[in-house]
Amino acid sequence: MNAPARPPRRLESYVCGSWTLGAKEGPALLDAATGDPVAYVDSSGLDFAAVLEHGRRAAGPKLRAMSFHDRAGMLKALGLALMAMKEEFYAESFRTGATRPDGWVDIEGGIGTMLTFASKGRRELPNSRVLTDGDVELLSKDNSFSAQHIYSPLQGVAVHINAYNFPVWGMLEKIAPTLLAGVPCVVKPASQTAYLTELVVRRIIETGILPEGALQLICGSVGDLLDHVTGQDAVTFTGSAWTGRKLKSHPAIVANSVRFTMEADSLNAAILGPDAVAGTPEFDLFVKEVAREMTSKAGQKCTAIRRVIAPRAQLEALTAALRDRLGKTALGLPDAEGTRMGPLASYEQRNEVRDRIRELQAVAEIVAGDPDAVTLRSGDAAKGAYLNPVLLCADRPFAAAAVHEVEAFGPVATLLPYDDLGEATELARMGKGSLVSSVFTDDKRVVEEVVLGVAPFHGRVMIGNRLSAKSSTGHGSPLAGLVHGGPGRAGGGEEMGGMRGVRHYMQRTAVQGAPRMLSAVTGRWIEGADTQQGVHPFRKSLAELQIGDQLVTATRVVTLEDVEHFAQFTGDTFYAHMDAEAAKANPFFDDRVAHGYLIASFAAGLFVEPNPGPVLANYGVDNLRFLTPVYFGDSLQVRLTCKEINPRANAEHGEVRWDSQITNQHGAVVAQYDVLTMVAKVWPPVAG
Ligand code: NDP
């Protein structure tokens, strides 16, 4: 049985601080499996300009006042709170036609994505409100005028217009990077499954974790909202290419150069390598993956495999294996025991998919399944939007234009035989830009040719192989840390990609000025900015330490004995340290040189303060470069400067980055690097 029927409800929008009904009842949204009405959706009468303004005024300043770590903490709290409520979301998710595994991708996949952004934000971003981009650019010989690129959050709102297929993930994967960037969101779910998104937003608002206005929801049409977007707003869209193009060319979006990210139809391909003949692990993995991609979410995934590109010699074996596997896909009520695939989201979608299959049939023949006959394990074929998997084959794939143009957004794929690898990559490229393609092979030459051949046409390429079979996340799974989006037909957009996705909601600006002024903007010490000397900075807790606190050490002469001792002690007897003749023959050295790691070790010996104190640990170095050779008799000196301070939330310590510069007796820079330490927030620690 599907979830017990309960009276349909009228969906509300959460706008301007309250839950609001549309002026009319609006159309009914039907349970995908039973046809029972679930909800009514309407947004007429809402003041959409006020919605945007509320986000900008009420939430924007509050979010921007928080640091990246504060926002990451907020996302973590929210993700954990949602995870605790997941069963309620699953119950509602069944009504969209999603089975429990489908719902897992949508619900726990979405919450997991939010938690990943929280964790990456905490680890990869500074605990500040501004991001730096790249190194300081020197613009004057005396370093009195330099430049630093920075990212700062847009001061508008991000409008996320989502597709019906992932009502939870589709929202969370977009609002997580947006909120981490410090930008409020307006979410517009696709009407068909908006009841699930509405439920999740209701629970989010109830937690009270987000500042008011950080998340607003529009259930129903967005009315004239797009007329009011400005250059400080961003619009993202997931759905059909037709709607996407229409919105992208909206006059206000064009006139105000509004950032517009589009993720639209994509004819993703999977390529079976010529080496992956029947009987190899790659052949079996390929069969499994194609069948899984066709049937998971009933093929209603933007990343699903639509084109199955395989060696002509393997076509018969592949068709038989896929026919067998697809034939075992139990279609039925999403929450019934034994169901492997649920219905499509609506009758309209099923009609649409059947129409698209007919278009494909003009150039391809059906080799498995029947679009017009429904075979069910449970449920009522007359009531639900059911469709068994359909596999087609286009024997002349280069002449089958429709296969490379028509997206049947359901459990449908087409086999395309190739005669050589060049044809295989050419066929993949005929999709004119896709979100993802995969290649299944155990041959390194095949991988190189295919990946380099198709990469410019894709946002992601997955290599299927026996070595990664156990751990692979699969063809169809976008991941928080990886870019999701594709060029050309796929919309030309890019989402997620870890912290890249956060920067989509920030403006990059080149800031020029004197170093001390640049440092004031970024909160980061740079060469030429103010420094202070006095107490050894390793004696200072985070409460006392300041950017620019500096230590200039005593000097130490490097001797032949030091180098001999280090070489024997460590076993590093590389000729440049040990053999004068060989060192002189080296184009970089005039004589034997000291080991780089000896220099770094001597530097530590010069700058550390040995007694127990607030510096708790040294957890690494960044960007270590040895710039000038050190010869016997050279004298080393270190200048250590506090560069960046990141107090850690909910902890007694934080991270401190120190600029470490080692010079010789001539003032030449011998080595340059960042020392990374953990430092106590207060010292001595407060008892209890
Ligand atoms: P649509 O493009 O019709 O809708 C996508 C989103 O845009 C929905 O939220 C929709 O809202 C909204 N929308 C539609 N018209 C406007 C408008 N004029 N102004 C503002 N927002 C608008 O796609 P569907 O969800 O109906 O799916 C249709 C087809 O798109 C599928 O069959 C499939 O081929 C493709 N698709 C592709 C996806 C991908 O990621 N590649 C994902 C989903 C669909 P509302 O629902 O209220 O109309």
CB of 190 sitting under 6 A from ligand 1: yes
Ordered strands of the 28-30 beta sheet: 9-10, 37-40, 28-30
Active-site position among 12, 92, 263, 407:
263
533-578 residue pLDDT tens: 999 999 999 999 999 999 999 999 999 999 999 999 999 999 999 9
pLDDT at 216 over 90: yes
Give the whole-angstrom CA distance, residue 620 versus residue 304.
42
Sign of CA dihedral 282, 286, 287, 289: positive
508-521 residue pLDDT tens: 999 999 999 999 99
CB 121 within 8 A of CB 68: yes
Task: Output the pLDDT for position 649.
Answer: 81
Separation of CA 75 and ligand 1 centre (Å): 27
CB of 300 sitting under 6 A from ligand 1: no
Task: Output the pLDDT for position 22.
Answer: 95
Confidence of residue 1 (pLDDT cuts 50, 70, 90): very low
> Whose Cα sits closest to atom 24 in ligand 1?
239
Mean pLDDT within 639-652: 92
pLDDT at 688 over 80: no
321-352 residue pLDDT tens: 999 999 999 999 999 999 999 999 999 999 99
Task: Output the pLDDT for position 429.
Answer: 96
146-204 residue pLDDT tens: 999 999 999 999 999 999 999 999 999 999 999 999 999 999 999 999 999 999 999 99
Cis peptide before 478 (omega within 30 of 0): no
> Whose Cα sits closest to atom 28 in ligand 1?
240
Task: Output the pLDDT for position 267.
Answer: 95
Q: Which residue has the tokens 């009842």?
A: 25
Q: 40, 106, 240, 434: which to mutate for ligand 1, most atoms within 8 A of CB?
A: 240
CB 231 within 8 A of CB 257: yes
**For the whole model, what pTM was predicted?**
0.91
Mean pLDDT within 292-304: 95
pLDDT at 654 over 80: yes
CB 312 within 8 A of CB 397: no
**What one-character-per-residue DSSP string does 500-562 give?**
HHHHTTEEEEEEEE-HHHHHHHHT---TTS--B-SS-GGG--TTT--TTBEEEEEEEE--HHH
pLDDT at 5 over 80: no
Query: Partners of 236 in the beta sheet?
Result: 160, 261
For the chain, the average pLDDT equals: 95
Task: Output the pLDDT for position 6.
Answer: 72
Question: Can you read off the two tokens belonging to residue 362?
Answer: 């003009």
CB of 113 sitting under 6 A from ligand 1: no
CB of 352 sitting under 6 A from ligand 1: yes
CB 65 within 8 A of CB 219: no
Confidence of residue 265 (pLDDT cuts 50, 70, 90): confident
CB of 243 sitting under 6 A from ligand 1: yes
Q: How many CB atoms lie within 10 A of CB 490?
A: 27
Confidence of residue 227 (pLDDT cuts 50, 70, 90): very high
pLDDT at 215 over 60: yes
Separation of CA 238 and ligand 1 centre (Å): 7
Q: Which residues does 215 contact at the CB level (< 8 Å), separation at least 6?
A: 14, 175, 179, 184, 185, 187, 201, 204, 205
Residue 614's nearest CA partner among 642, 584, 581, 633 is 642
CB 364 within 8 A of CB 355: no
SS3 call for 274: coil
